[in-house]
Amino acid sequence: MTRHDRTERAAILNMTEVLQESAVMKYLITGGAGFIGSHLTEFFLKRGDEVSIVDDLSTGSWENVAHLADNRNFHAYVADAADKVLLETEIRNSDFVYHLASSVGVKLIVSRPVDSIRRIVRPTETVVDLCAKYRKPILLTSTSETYGKSESIPFREDMDVTLGPSSKNRWAYAIAKLLDEFYLLAQREQTGLPVYIVRLFNVVGPRQTGYYGMVLPRFVTAALNNEPIQVYGSGEQSRCFSSVYDIVEGLARFPQTPNAAGEVVNLGSDREVTINDLARRVIELCDSKSIVKTVSYDEAYGPNFDDMQRRLPCLDKARRLIGWDPKRSLDQIIMETRDWIRDTGRQ
């Protein structure tokens, strides 16, 4: 066993002792007011844990966590996740760090590539370096975008990836998230820091906004208003949509699964649906009079947009390491999203 292996093992054993000795864990969640982060925050608070969130509200929303404000175990900071002074105190006092802060949505990445890269890379360097300094385990949420245009289906965590050229902004997100992954794994190699990397696949559900191009809330909002549903490209590209509730349940398992340290793990659904079929299912479940309108990628995102035809995860590793499988059906996911948009008026 190398010195770095011993260091990592000692940090993992320390985390395990914390879990065994105390029923209450202290979590730090960057991006905690975002779509996924707010659900993860709520999950831990309901379990009786203590949670601090850091979010600059650039893509997150205070509305997502406002109902948690009176919980004495909830602490919120409206700040950049690259704020070293704030993060140093919070990381030092945490047992486990979830790093979710990031740019989101193809629309945002394509329209503001410089801001998007900065919002991904800079906070990660700050958070990971501080976790290394204080020996705090960290989980990074990465993305299925890192698999790029690979035609090797399903996507396995150890496979080679095929990305588009740097002249196409769309791939800036994938490259930046891959750099995040490399940085975490480099810290593990160099310092023995326990790191966990989770690649998420098309997570959807309540609190997700369509503002940044997210497909399901866009479709549901249009259907509820009996407006045309805009399908970009041919609509025959397929995706696998997973419920945010299933994903949060999976993310919450990693602190109790130290043998997953140093691993990259897919989380998502492995049930494919074409975007055209998704639109038709949304229309039916919303009892809508909407029609489907095809919009070219050039019209939606500008010239030279690149896309992949299929995005299907292999979930063998998630099943083996954390005993996790997605539970909710696509219909259930659509109905939960429909009810939330209809009840809150948010889109």
What distances in angstroms separate CA 208 from CA 63, 140, 173, one per listed residue? 12, 20, 19
Q: Which residues are catalytic?
A: 173
Distance separating alpha carbons of residues 208 and 244, to the nearest angstrom:
9
| CATH of segment(s) 3-204+243-270+312-327 | 3.40.50.720
User: Does the pLDDT value for residue 1 go beyond 80?
Assistant: no
Domain ranges of the chain: 3-204+243-270+312-327
User: Does the pLDDT value for residue 4 go beyond 70?
Assistant: no
pLDDT digits (tens, 9 = 90+) for 119-170: 899 999 999 999 999 999 999 999 999 999 988 999 999 999 988 888 888 8
User: Does the pLDDT value for residue 10 go beyond 60?
Assistant: no
- C-beta of residue 27 within 8 angstroms of C-beta of residue 53: no
Burial 185-221 (b: 16+ CB within 10 A, else e): bebbeebbbbbbbbbbbbbbbbbbbbebbbbbbbbbb
pLDDT value for 22? 52
Instruction: Give residue 53's identity as a one-letter amino acid code.
Output: I
Question: What DSSP character marks residue 259?
Answer: G
Distance separating alpha carbons of residues 177 and 163, to the nearest angstrom:
13
pTM, full prediction: 0.91
pLDDT digits (tens, 9 = 90+) for 266-322: 999 999 999 999 999 999 999 999 999 999 988 887 777 778 889 999 999 999 999
pLDDT value for 345? 85
Distance separating alpha carbons of residues 337 and 343, to the nearest angstrom:
10
* Nearby residues of 331 by Cβ (< 8 Å), 6 or more positions away: 281, 285
Look at the chain and count its residues: 347
